[in-house]
Amino acid sequence: MSEANKNANKNLIHMDIYAIVEATQELYFGNVKDLNINRVELVSVPKDDGTVVQKPYMSPTKVRGVARRALLWELVRLGDQKVLSCGIPATCGNCDVCRLYGALVTTQKGTKAKTTKIDSQGTEGENLAGSIASRVIQAGGVAIQELTPAIKQRLSSPFYVVNGKIGQYNVEEIKKMLQERGVTGDTLNRLSQPMPYEKEYVTGLFSIYWHAYYLETSKKKESKMSEPQMVAFSFLETWKRIGAGHPKGAEIKEAEILGKPQPLIVVDVYYKPLGKRPIISVSESNEKTAIETFIRKAMIVNGKKNTENRITISENEPKVILFERFIGDTAEDFLRKLASGLDTTSNLIEPQKK
């Protein structure tokens, strides 16, 4: 292996973020539609006693979309011209967001795909075809508590959803349409009356996990943000904007860690995965037990229980840092500084170039 490749490999790190977030108010998320009502997305979870319960689900796919949009808007603000041709779902495959979050690019109709040089960061050129694998993975999202969604009206004007179209309809027209579909009697009278459009809402706690791998620690000259900075920024901004429609927003839950209230968040930066992963089982429904489990796992690194907010593991000969863990306030401060382009206390992420 060449010396250049050896040095390049040393600059590639992994970063994991674990957190328990709570809805700051009632939230709607999901795209399941019933008659005049939007349903919250639920998942069926088997319990240890053999029963099956349903829990609200903050889908990582939707979290991912919010994170990607937050990053696109910030890069536009910073003057990145490449992202102006990128979006969701029409990814460009040529900007820093696509190189990190992945992309699916198809040829334009009637054109032939070009054969282009692919470097370590992705693919360049026009009329590209193919895909770029994402190096940021969102996971978790199953609610801790077993919560029943509440149905609430959030629109003052009653209307119908008919054949996938939303609008106000004449009662007689609706009744005629229903009769054509074989609806009769009391059911016909009930369904033909105007009904307010409603949504299901939930609150609660959600266990979240992000894994970003093979991130370049230094910022490229032509880039506006380094890859670790992009991950940190998109993670922090996501929770302000999560939720379909309104209201929006979630926040990192706080609990007592090492004798004082701290956010339930853990950040790992590493070459070697030496920390126990503070992930909550989907079958756990007790808030107190879930939080205790999260904290207990967060304190275990390299097979030992620790009592510090920051833990570093290194090899002795030669002295090479293999793993860093930030917990609670230290983790949140680390992410906020990294997201803002400021220098951090990490030994594995290079200082930001001024």
What is the rounded CA–CA span in Å between residue 249 and residue 237? Answer: 10
> Quick one: pLDDT at residue 121?
42
Does residue 4 register a pLDDT over 60?
Answer: no
Q: Helix, strand, or coil here: 285?
A: coil
More reliable by pLDDT, 24 or 330: 330
Does residue 333 register a pLDDT over 70?
Answer: yes
> Quick one: pLDDT at residue 117?
43
> Quick one: pLDDT at residue 50?
84
Tokens linked to 213: 């791998």
Residue-wise pLDDT for 29-53, tens only, equals 665 655 556 677 788 888 888 889 8
Location of structure tokens 């920051």: 310
Does residue 178 register a pLDDT over 90?
Answer: no
- Rounded to an integer, the average pLDDT of 211-232 is 93
- Mean per-residue pLDDT of the chain: 82
What is the rounded CA–CA span in Å between residue 3 and residue 254? Answer: 46
Percent of the chain with pLDDT over 70: 77
> Quick one: pLDDT at residue 165?
59
Q: Where does the pLDDT of residue 252 fall: very low under 50, low under 70, confident under 90, or very high at 90 and above?
A: very high
Q: Where does the pLDDT of residue 173 fall: very low under 50, low under 70, confident under 90, or very high at 90 and above?
A: confident
Does residue 5 register a pLDDT over 50?
Answer: no
What is the rounded CA–CA span in Å between residue 56 and residue 146? Answer: 8
Does residue 122 register a pLDDT over 70?
Answer: no
Does residue 155 register a pLDDT over 90?
Answer: no
What is the rounded CA–CA span in Å between residue 125 and residue 114? Answer: 8
Q: Where does the pLDDT of residue 249 fall: very low under 50, low under 70, confident under 90, or very high at 90 and above?
A: confident
- Rounded to an integer, the average pLDDT of 209-215 is 96
Query: Which of 79-83, 101-105, 116-120 is predicted with the least confidence, judged by mean pLDDT?
Result: 116-120
Whether residue 135 contacts residue 214, with contact meaning beta carbons closer than 8 Å, is answered with: yes
Does residue 113 register a pLDDT over 70?
Answer: no
DSSP 8-state symbol, 327? E
> Quick one: pLDDT at residue 147?
78
- Rounded to an integer, the average pLDDT of 109-115 is 38
> Quick one: pLDDT at residue 272?
94
